[in-house]
Amino acid sequence: MKWTLRYGLAILMTFGVAGCSAHAETGTDEICKTVEHGVRLHVDGVYGGYPHSVLRDVVLESVSCPSGQAEMRAFDAIAVPPPHMRIAVMRPTGQGQQGSVSVMLFSQGHFVIGERMALSPFSRSQSPFSVKADINLATARLWDDLAARVAQGKPAIP
């Protein structure tokens, strides 16, 4: 009885914690709600030991949405059903570790376009909130590149 109580409770707690953290990292958020039906966002990554929820909040506050005429035309080509964006921020723990931000856009089950860049030196040494400019720049470049592709007469979804 002692064994069941002692180890059973430990096993139950392990599965409960694993289930909660898995849910937090696999959920999607709705962003860019002012354009068509919006974009579904999935946030991945780690930022120097900070909780995933902090990183998720930073990404939600930093994402750039399509805004110009060319970007809106390009977005219209992939807007239904709502596209899916995956943003991964990686900054290993430790002084001087270089990190990166990766943004990928998917539509209708296909990869559309992506951007990857190293974190700025400022972002590598500060809290997750210092990475806002890097995330905003990467997502703005993504929309700009998609607009340029469509303007050249290429298909929005390769």
Provide the pLDDT for residue 96.
65
pLDDT values of the chain reduced to their tens digit, one per residue, 158 residues: 554 444 444 444 444 434 433 334 457 889 998 888 899 999 999 998 899 999 999 999 999 999 999 999 999 999 999 999 999 999 887 766 789 999 999 999 999 999 999 999 887 678 889 999 999 999 999 999 999 999 999 999 98
Please name the amino acid found at residue 61. Answer: E
CATH of the domain at 141: 3.40.50
Cis ω for the linkage preceding 83 (within 30 of 0): no
| Cβ neighbours around 133 below 10 Å, total | 13
* pLDDT value for 127: 85
Structural domain boundaries, residue 61: 28-151
pLDDT at 24: 41
Instruction: Give the CB-side neighbour count of residue 22, counting CA atoms within 13 A.
Output: 6
In a domain, 145, yes or no: yes
In a domain, 130, yes or no: yes
- Model's pTM, two decimal places? 0.80
- Looking at residue 95, its pLDDT comes to 66
- 12 in a structural domain: no
Which runs of E-coded beta strand occur in 7-147? 29-31, 39-47, 84-91, 100-107, 110-118
**Residue 126 has which token pair?**
């500060």
In a domain, 156, yes or no: no
Q: Which of 90, 121, 84 is nearest to 106 (CA)?
A: 84
**44 is a domain residue:** yes
Task: State residue 26's pLDDT score.
Answer: 56
The answer to whether the CB of 58 falls within 8 A of the CB of 129 is yes
Residue 59 is predicted with a pLDDT of 96
Q: How many domains does the chain have?
A: 1
φ, ψ of residue 129 in degrees (nearest 5): -65, -20
Is residue 42 a part of any domain in this protein?
yes
